[in-house]
Structure 1
Amino acid sequence: MSIFQKTMSMSIFHMQRWSPRVVWVSLLLLAFAAIVIITTTLHHSHVFLGLHNFDVPVLAGSWSSSSETSWASSKTSQGVIHKHFRGNTNDNYIGRVNRNVDEPRKNALAKERKRDERVPSAVVRGQQPTTPSKGPQMTMQPRPWSPLPALWDTQTPIGHDRNDRCDWRQIRTHLPAPHTNTWLCLRPYSDLVTNAVRRNGEWGDCHRLPLLHDAAKRSFFPPKQKQSSVAVNGAAVRAPVPPLQAGAGAPEQQQHLLPYMEIGVNIGSCYVPMTQKTDIEFALGFEPSPKNLFYTSSSLVRVFQDADKDNKRFQLQQMSGNLNKLPLGSRQQLQLKTNSTTLRERIRLAPVALGETNTDLTLFSEPGNAGNSVLGKPVHANLVEGKVPVVRLDDYFRAGGDVAALVPSISASKSGETKVPPASLLPRHQQDLLDVYNGKKKFGVLKMDAQGFETKIFRGAKHLLKIQAFKFIHFELATEWLRGQGTSAEEFLKLLEDAGYQICGYRKVANLVERLRGRNVVETHLAYAGRDDAGGCRIGA
């Protein structure tokens, strides 16, 4: 008997003594080892036989050497997250395949990665430069510039950016009912403002604006006094006291409602909550960037859709007679958000820029900080977005918002000029603007963030400043951006001082200018008209 036969007979003899469970476990281990060996052999045969020229599925996506970029999307509760497979790792199959690609192909991929991940070297908006996330970076071919309507119709999103996708996030708001959180459409790629909202749940100065709005209401419309006791024939009698008259310069407005205005809406991190959660009459916003307009309008469309759902729920509860059985908080929430019509009437979003002349200017933006949209001159922004219409604020109100009457044409593309569509303004909207221009209506709060264009905006708004159409002006002073536009903080503050506005915390304008001169800083300040009897400076300073 040979040695092999002896060994096999001994193995069979021992296996007969094993339990069935041990035998099955051994067979499973042998099968698993065989599968691993076969898979490894086929895997290396693909690489060495040159099969990497075909599409090879990897996880949820695919990679192909014939395409520069490939994507895999995984849906989460927050939105759509894009994962980019570029073959830049050494431990996965893609990395091994990519090493077989020729050198020109490698260089092209490396240049593309470097272009997507570049970071602006200059200090951005007074904050420390942030390194981009090491995650995916979206790329796309720029679309041709197209003109925008003079006023958003509130029906469908306006503007565009890359793939026109939203990363939906709930942002915190320090406001009361109807609810504490609201949805905001954020950029699905790395950006300074978007990253801050993702990280903190809000944008820095937004929480002050509702408080300033309430302070303006208290200043214009003081609360009524309670009844007091008067002596009649020696006996105390309760007698009503006439209500206080409205504050000095109070507008002729019904229901004690004040409008809100924002210059430089950006992605709507302040504008959207103000339109949804405060009792403003309407919100007039100016934003010339089509990229920013897409995210702002998308957020508002979702607000309208949620309001329609609440309206149906409210009607069902009212018809069933269960409305009074709901808790007080839920009942107030339903009553405050009854339909989207009321919310739509509040929205006045104008896709135009403001300046000292009626013209059209080139809009620049900064890679990694789309909020740094600069007009006319590339101050820390070298990416050309296109031509946008620029109007004087005084003329905009005097014309009732008819931008086409002010700027007849803009350079829409290289092929020629395109007429600006006529303003889709309702008669009520036009009358509101005319009432403000004539001093019959005033804004409670004006928030402006114009990247150094503030002085030129106020040069074109001297009439509105003279009649003090804004109770509070919440603004930023960025000295380097102001100097880049050929103006200064001193000139900007003098425009406010000549119009009778006061700056919170500073008795003399020169003190503030001296504090800012020669420094690359961005500071937020508050100007107020008349007396600050409502304590607005304690909120905004």
Structure 2
Amino acid sequence: MADAIRKYGFWPECADLPEMLEHTTGRRTAGALFVDAGANIGACSLHMLLASEASVISFEPGASNLFYASSSLLRLHEQGTIAATARAALVPLGLGRNASGQLLHQAIGNAGHAVIGHKPVQFAPLGHLSPQAVRIERLDDVLWPVSQRSEPPPPIHLLKLDVEGFECEVLRGMSSLLAAGAVRAIKVEVFDMLLRLQGCSAAELLGMLLAAGFEVRLLAEGTPP
């Protein structure tokens, strides 16, 4: 990922996010909210900070990814490129169905492939690092806690959901936000093998999105220009 960003100036899978956000906001991104679930090293969060005026809330439980994401945000702030601290929040949590402690298993040499509770060997030819203890919370409880539900929920104009098979769990943990219509659009990775590892499937994930009222569209995987 870092090599691609150095070469092209961005991570290809983030390239369509500004246009998606503009579609949900009528091209007025000031005051919009982008939520990055599974921020990795922060590539898409940084892309949105630079390419839009939206506020960005990023969730990433992995220690090494948090280090690189926070370092990049601080560098942008120090350079005066953007007022990063004013529009960005990096939250050291994973998201899921229930508040819990879990183990995160990260592939050696590929910090982007880190799976909650499982160690799939197919994508970790060099093995896994020692498991990391991480905290999982419901997105409902983080962004719209019960004590505030007498008030309208915060509008999430675009949610990027890429959590290595934990996508169904994240959706189950944001049922109140979904029921309230707070989420305008979602870009979600669909990886059936990893979804099945977590007790879900691609068909079930898509069914959950349809049941929540979303129109599902297939996007081609991002590629460099």
TM-score by length of 2: 0.86
Which of residues 345, 350, 360 is equivalent to 2:86?
345
Runs ≥4 residues deviating over 6 A: none
Gaps of 5+ in 2: none
Please tell me whether the aligned partners of residues 161 and 188 of structure 2 are also in contact (alpha carbons under 8 angstroms): yes
Distance in 1, matches of 2:165 and 2:220, equals 12
Distance in 2, matches of 1:196 and 1:385, equals 27
Match of 2:3 in 1: 195
Rg bigger for which structure? 1
Match of 1:369 in 2: 110
Please give the residue correspondences for 1:151-190 in structure 2 after superposition, counting only pairs within 5 Å. Answer: none
Distance in 2, matches of 1:523 and 1:488, equals 19
Pair 1:268-2:42 in alignment: yes
Please tell me whether the aligned partners of residues 362 and 384 of structure 1 are also in contact (alpha carbons under 8 angstroms): no
Match of 1:207 in 2: 15
Gaps of 5+ in 1: 1-192, 222-254, 311-336, 401-430, 506-521, 526-541
Match of 1:284 in 2: 57
- Opposite residue 196 of structure 1, the aligned amino acid is A
Match of 2:134 in 1: 388
Please tell me whether the aligned partners of residues 266 and 287 of structure 1 are also in contact (alpha carbons under 8 angstroms): yes
- Opposite residue 63 of structure 2, the aligned amino acid is P
Please give the residue correspondences for 1:222-301 in structure 2 after superposition, counting only pairs within 5 Å. Answer: 257-280=31-54, 282-301=55-74
**In structure 1, the residue corresponding to 2:130 is in which secondary structure?**
strand
Return the offset for 1:438: 4.3
Which of residues 168, 176, 195 is equivalent to 1:463?
176
Distance in 1, matches of 2:30 and 2:12, equals 28
Match of 2:100 in 1: 359
Distance in 2, matches of 1:363 and 1:440, equals 30
Larger RCO (alpha carbons 8 Å, 6+ apart): 2
Please tell me whether the aligned partners of residues 357 and 390 of structure 1 are also in contact (alpha carbons under 8 angstroms): yes
Distance in 2, matches of 1:201 and 1:391, equals 33
- Opposite residue 290 of structure 1, the aligned amino acid is A
What whole-Å deviation, never above 9, does each CA across 1:343-390 have from its counterpart, x for those lacking one? 312111100011111110001011221100111111245323310011
What whole-Å deviation, never above 9, does each CA across 1:6-53 have from its counterpart, x for those lacking one? xxxxxxxxxxxxxxxxxxxxxxxxxxxxxxxxxxxxxxxxxxxxxxxx
Change in Cα spacing, 1:500 to 1:466, as seen in structure 2 (3 Å) is same
Q: How many residues align?
A: 217
Please tell me whether the aligned partners of residues 287 and 353 of structure 1 are also in contact (alpha carbons under 8 angstroms): yes
Please tell me whether the aligned partners of residues 364 and 374 of structure 1 are also in contact (alpha carbons under 8 angstroms): yes
Which of residues 158, 165, 179 is equivalent to 1:452?
165
Please tell me whether the aligned partners of residues 10 and 47 of structure 2 are also in contact (alpha carbons under 8 angstroms): no
Return the offset for 1:523: 6.7
Please tell me whether the aligned partners of residues 476 and 523 of structure 1 are also in contact (alpha carbons under 8 angstroms): no
Which of residues 369, 386, 397 is equivalent to 2:143?
397
Distance in 2, matches of 1:361 and 1:486, equals 16
Change in Cα spacing, 1:438 to 1:372, as seen in structure 2 (3 Å) is farther
Distance in 2, matches of 1:211 and 1:268, equals 18
Change in Cα spacing, 1:523 to 1:386, as seen in structure 2 (3 Å) is farther
Please tell me whether the aligned partners of residues 25 and 157 of structure 2 are also in contact (alpha carbons under 8 angstroms): yes
**In structure 2, the residue corresponding to 1:477 is in which secondary structure?**
coil
- Determine what percentage of the aligned residue pairs are the same residue: 31
Please tell me whether the aligned partners of residues 140 and 174 of structure 2 are also in contact (alpha carbons under 8 angstroms): yes
Distance in 2, matches of 1:387 and 1:377, equals 13
Pair 1:485-2:194 in alignment: no
Distance in 2, matches of 1:356 and 1:209, equals 25
Distance in 2, matches of 1:273 and 1:257, equals 16
- Opposite residue 367 of structure 1, the aligned amino acid is I
Return the offset for 1:206: 1.2
Match of 1:56 in 2: none
**In structure 1, the residue corresponding to 2:13 is in which secondary structure?**
coil
CA RMSD of superposed structures (Å):
2.6
